[in-house]
Amino acid sequence: MKTFGLDITSADIIDTLSFFDSWDDRYRYIIDLGKELPPMADAEHTDANLIRGCQSKVWLSSESREGRLYFNVDSDAFIVKGLLAIVMAAYNTKTPAEIRSFDIQGFFESIDLMRHLSPTRGSGLQAMVARIQSIAA
């Protein structure tokens, strides 16, 4: 299994999405990315790991190893799992300082993501980012 943040990076996502002409193809790719996320253990599907503000159910857990943050994520919606994969490509396996300094909004703009999400999906995505950035702080 590939590791998001190491084997699949934000630069990889930008490069791959640039190959697709239509957003239908991009959505299929994003959903496929979500299928590559490692499974989250049932024990981690807790209220403490639930991210508020998302239309779908989203869980996020984290652990720190050797100064780097490793995240485990899951959702009950395929497209949201894909969005989580995009966020993991940017943040997983990074140091807290790297997470805090990464321009996530610039990353989303470079792939034209926010314009193609419903307002509630966009808010949920921002809630995911906020939770990760608070962990990194």
Q: For residue 96, which amino acid is it? A: P
| CA nearest neighbour of 114 among 85, 83, 92, 73 | 83
DSSP string computed for 22-85: SHHHHHHHHHHHHHTSPPPPGGG-SGGGBPTT-SS-EEEEEEEETTEEEEEEEESSHHHHHHHH
63 counts as catalytic:
no
The three-class DSSP label of residue 8 is: strand
Single out the catalytic residue among 30, 51, 54, 113: 54
The alpha carbon of residue 2 and the mean position of all alpha carbons in its chain are separated, in whole angstroms, by: 15
Contact yes or no for 40/84 (Cβ under 8 A): no
Which residues are known catalytic residues?
54
